Structure 1
Amino acid sequence: MKQKNLLKSRKKLDLRYKQLMEQAYNLRQTDHEMSDISEFRALKTLNKLNRLKFLARGEHLQSIS
């Protein structure tokens, strides 16, 4: 059950990251400030995604042992 929740969270964060990066790219030519803010939020989301992947990896290793 926990693995399903982790997978759902990872997919949600991945989608959010892609949306924010696309928004930052689209705003780059018209509004530099909003582009930077969107990119910052995307990087924070990517950080959360990487931490979640790390935790999921740790649980996977414990289940093997």
Structure 2
Amino acid sequence: MNRIDSLKIHQVELIKKYKSLVEQAYNFRQTDSALSDISEYRAIKLLNKLNRLKYLHREQQQKAV
């Protein structure tokens, strides 16, 4: 498995986790605002990581071409 495939697989896993955290934050919004804020914070951190991975993935694709 090359580097591009590895980045893509990791990106897909992080997207699933991000969606789960956003949904969890939404569900906790009415019952426990502190847990909602924590889930939202984790989702934002994951989104930042996803954006960096997207940049690396794009950079690797340009080198491969």
TM-score by length of 2: 0.94
RMSD: 0.7
What letter matches 1:30 in structure 2? T
Partner in structure 2 of residue 48 of structure 1:
49
TM-superposed CA distance for 1:41, in Å, is 0.1
Report how many aligned residue pairs link the two structures: 64
- TM-score calculated relative to the size of structure 1: 0.94
Q: After TM superposition, which residue ranges in structure 1, 4 or more long, deviate above 4 angstroms?
A: none
Cα displacement string for residues 27-65 of structure 1 (whole angstroms, at most 9, x for unaligned residues): 00000000000000000001001100001111111122x
Contact 2:25 2:36 in 1 (8 A): yes
- Which structure 2 segments of 5+ residues have no match? none
Deviations 1:11-37 (A, max 9, x none): 000000000000000000000000000
Q: What SS is found at the alignment partner of 1:29?
A: coil
1:3 Cα deviation from its structure 2 partner? 1.4
